[in-house]
């Protein structure tokens, strides 16, 4: 039996959301220990109950306020091999009508929390030659009307990841940004409902498709690194402009 301090361990934020949940299942199947985070303790406990016993811990928190406490919980563990930043919030609407609180939430969850967590845990990743995965969005690669603040937060996340990759060169740490297009998640369902569009999950990327791509990057030989993955739904036309309204992962 492999001792706990010798088993690889992954921290996953947004663990109960669509993409986060799919990744959690894949990581558990690979034999990794897990520290899972989301806002709901009940949802985390329900997810943990479906995973191999004794290999999963969970820490409920609102990343807009408590990212530091999550970092403390991770640092109390013997090692960190992987950080998956899957938590995120979304909002749509023109700049002119974006509320101050909405802008603060977008930046706190989508940018500040990944920055703080990665910075605090970087020494652990150096020790294990680990990996950081930033679940971004195709809105981190482009812009459109009525998603300015959200796109700005995702562009900032891309800059964070690209800068980190440069700064950890030679350390053995790998940094991956994933840019999914429209994906069948609770967040996507909320977005489409806000637009007043019927929801057909078959027209969106499946969360497990994204999880499979991340796992493929994770198991690459140490001689290689995947830096960016862009995934778009096959055959789906571009989304119409969104109506105003918030959603959260």
197 SS3 class:
coil
Instruction: Give how many domains the chain has, as a whole number.
Output: 1
Residue 178: in which H helix or E strand, if any?
strand 174-180
pLDDT of residue 243: 45
The per-residue pLDDT string of the chain (249 residues; one tens digit each, 9 = 90 and over) reads: 455 667 999 999 999 999 999 999 999 999 999 999 999 999 999 999 999 999 999 999 999 999 999 999 999 999 999 999 999 998 888 888 889 999 999 999 999 999 999 999 999 999 999 999 999 999 999 988 888 899 999 999 999 999 999 999 999 999 999 999 887 777 777 777 777 777 777 778 999 999 999 999 999 999 999 999 999 988 766 554 444 444 444
Tokens of 205: 């990327």
Give a yes or no: residue 139 inside a domain: yes
CA contacts within 13 A on the Cβ side of 34? 33
Give a yes or no: residue 168 inside a domain: yes
Q: What is the domain extent for residue 187? A: 9-231
What pTM does this model have?
Answer: 0.90
Q: How many residues does the chain have?
A: 249
pLDDT of residue 80: 98
Give a yes or no: residue 3 inside a domain: no
Q: What is the CATH number of the domain that holds 77?
A: 3.40.50.720
Residue 77: in which H helix or E strand, if any?
none
Give a yes or no: residue 16 inside a domain: yes
Going by C-alpha positions, the residue among 214, 232, 186 that lies closest to residue 23 is 214
Q: Counting beta carbons within 10 angstroms of the beta carbon of residue 23, is it exposed (0 to 12), middle (13 to 18) or buried (19 or more)?
A: buried
pLDDT of residue 131: 98
Residues 130, 83 contacting (CB under 8 angstroms): yes
Give a yes or no: residue 240 inside a domain: no
Give a yes or no: residue 1 inside a domain: no
Instruction: Look up tokens 């940018």; give the residue.
Output: 111
Residues 194, 92 contacting (CB under 8 angstroms): yes
Give a yes or no: residue 66 inside a domain: yes
Relative to beta strand 89-92, strand 82-85 is unpaired
DSSP category for residue 205: B
* Neighbouring C-beta atoms of residue 84, cutoff 10 Å: 29
Give a yes or no: residue 243 inside a domain: no
């Amino acid at each position: 039996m492999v001792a706990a301090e010798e088993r690889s361990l992954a921290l996953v934020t947004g663990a109960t959301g669509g993409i986060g949940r799919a990744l959690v299942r894949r990581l558990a199947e690979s034999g990794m220990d897990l520290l899972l985070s989301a806002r709901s303790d009940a949802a985390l406990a329900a997810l943990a109950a479906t995973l191999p016993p004794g290999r999963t811990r969970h820490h409920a928190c609102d990343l807009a306020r408590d990212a530091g406490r999550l970092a403390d919980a991770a640092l109390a563990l013997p090692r960190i091999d992987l950080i998956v930043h899957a938590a995120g919030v979304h909002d749509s609407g023109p700049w002119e009508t974006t509320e101050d609180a909405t802008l603060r939430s977008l930046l706190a969850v989508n940018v500040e929390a990944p920055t703080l967590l990665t910075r605090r845990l970087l020494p652990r990743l150096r020790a294990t030659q680990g990996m950081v995965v930033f679940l971004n969005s195709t809105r981190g690669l482009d812009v459109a009307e009525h998603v300015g603040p959200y796109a700005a937060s995702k562009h900032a996340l891309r800059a964070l990841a690209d800068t980190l990759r440069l700064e950890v060169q030679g350390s053995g740490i790998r940094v991956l940004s994933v840019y999914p297009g429209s994906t069948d998640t609770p967040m996507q369902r909320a977005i489409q409902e806000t637009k007043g569009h019927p929801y057909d999950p078959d027209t969106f990327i499946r969360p497990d498709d994204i999880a499979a791509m991340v796992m493929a990057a994770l198991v690459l030989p140490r001689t290689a690194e995947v830096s960016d993955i862009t995934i778009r739904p096959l055959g789906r036309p571009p989304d119409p402009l969104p109506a105003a309204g918030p959603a959260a992962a």
